[in-house]
Homo-oligomer: A and B are copies of this chain.
Amino acid sequence: MTHIEFRSDNAAGVAPEIVQAVADANVGSVIAYGDDPVTAQLHDVVREVFEHDTARVFPVTSGTAANALALTALCPPWGAVLCHETAHILNSEGGATSMLGGGAVMRGVGGDDFRMHPDELRAALDGIRWGDPHHSQPAVISITSPTDMGTIYSVDDIAELAAIGAEAGMATHLDGARIANALVALGCTPAEMTWKAGVDAVSLGCTKNGALSSEAIVVFDDAAGDELVYRTKRSGHVTSKMRFQSAQVIAYLTDDLWLRLAGNSNARMKRLAAGLEPLGVRFVNRPDVNMLFVDVGEAAAAAMAEAGMLFYDMGGGVIRLVTSWQTTDDDIDRALDITAAALAS
């Protein structure tokens, strides 16, 4: 039985263009730790793609590293990062930001669709005793888009939250573990979704969408960039052969590869959702990008797994289905057949 992979875009392989870029970088010898010409070129590519003359990029090796390091460059040890109460940084990174940030804390803010709501953010900020050292001082708004539940913020949503934060003297971070999927869904430019909307630093996810071993921090704030020179090194995230990470990110951002890969994920999810809807199952989230949480009931979930579909069982009959750059129409059609059969029996 051939399995159909819906567990995670993390489970997918590496895009051939990325493999090729790594092989192409394996020529001659270059100086280590990022002082190489490939990494220099990466800075140029990022500045062009993000239309920002002074943006800087730091290749790191995990999303947790990207998030935690970016946040600690924006947040003092006595600061607080405000994010949605379901955010990955709050719930799934083992306290990385608090550890690397000298005891900075994270505070969850509510809002529908797994997105921070401006009113909830305002209410949270209204309750703060600013300048009182008994209380961690809000310093960063962190927006995850797409969210871990597959929904996205519009550009205006991001801009509104960032503006509320800016008024209180706060910086804004974007956890873009799946940013390419959001860009495709929104049809906007990277600049529009980030610095033009008030974002100071972005965790630029690459690995879930076809890269091999690199994520990156893109930072528009000079002071934060200066700190990241040190923060990346002393957390072990300045690799000696950085050229091979930089080559991946260059290939990823070149000729819209990232958008094409994410475009595939999104399109396959659309096909899946369109096929599931008539089957009468309840969608837990609005599948804005490549992720769907759907309630099929425990019996059908078991039958679907039995028939070869790989997914995360969230409990109570709800399953998580994620498409990737590798998912095919055929995968979707087989999955829909399996699901229909499972629900029918």
> What is the interface of chain A, defined by CB distance below 8 A to chain B?
5, 7-8, 10-14, 19, 22-23, 26-33, 60-66, 68-69, 76-78, 80, 91-106, 131, 133-137, 207-208, 212-213, 227, 229-241, 244-245, 310, 324, 326
Given contacts A19-B26, A29-B5, A241-B207, are A134 and B94 in contact (CB under 8 A)? yes
A229: chain B residues at CB < 8 Å are 131, 133
18 contacts between A and B (CB under 8 A): A14-B241, A29-B324, A68-B236, A76-B230, A77-B95, A94-B133, A95-B98, A95-B105, A95-B234, A96-B236, A97-B103, A99-B102, A99-B235, A133-B230, A133-B234, A137-B230, A207-B241, A208-B240
Q: How many angstroms between the C-alpha atoms of A80 and B134 in the bound complex? A: 20
State the majority secondary structure of interface residues on A: loop
Cross-interface CB contact of A233 among B12, B22, B133, B238, cutoff 8 Å = B133
**B31 and A7 contact, CB distance less than 8 A:** yes
- Pick from A33, A64, A99, A244 the residue with the most CB of B within 10 Å: A99
A241's nearest neighbour on chain B, judged by CB, is B207
Q: How many copies does the complex hold?
A: 4
- Contact, CB under 8 Å: A236 / B235: yes
- In the assembled complex, the CB of A158 is this many whole angstroms from the nearest CB of chain B, namely 24
Say which residue of B19, B68, B208 sits within 8 Å of A23 (CB atoms).
B19
Contacts of A61 in B (CB 8 A): 61, 213, 236-237, 239
Q: Identify the interface centre among A10, A29, A60, A64: most chain B CB within 10 Å of its CB.
A: A29
Write the nearest CB–CB distance from A110 to chain B, whole angstroms: 13
In the assembled complex, the Cα of A102 lies from the Cα of B92 at a distance in Å of 17
Q: Are B134 and A212 in contact (CB under 8 A)?
A: no
Interfacial chain B residues near A65, Cβ < 8 Å: 235-237
**A274→B104 CA distance, assembly (Å):** 44
Pairwise interchain contact B134-A62, C-beta atoms closer than 8 A: no
Q: Which residue of B lies closest to A104 (CB)?
A: B95
Question: Which chain B positions have C-beta within 8 A of A231?
Answer: 78
Beyond A102-B99, A240-B62, whether A233 also contacts B13 by CB under 8 A is no
Which of B10, B26, B212, B239 touches A32 (beta carbons < 8 Å)? B10
- Give min CB distance, A85 to chain B, whole Å: 11
A63 and B133 form a contact (CB under 8 A): no
Complexed CA–CA distance, A136 and B90 (Å): 10
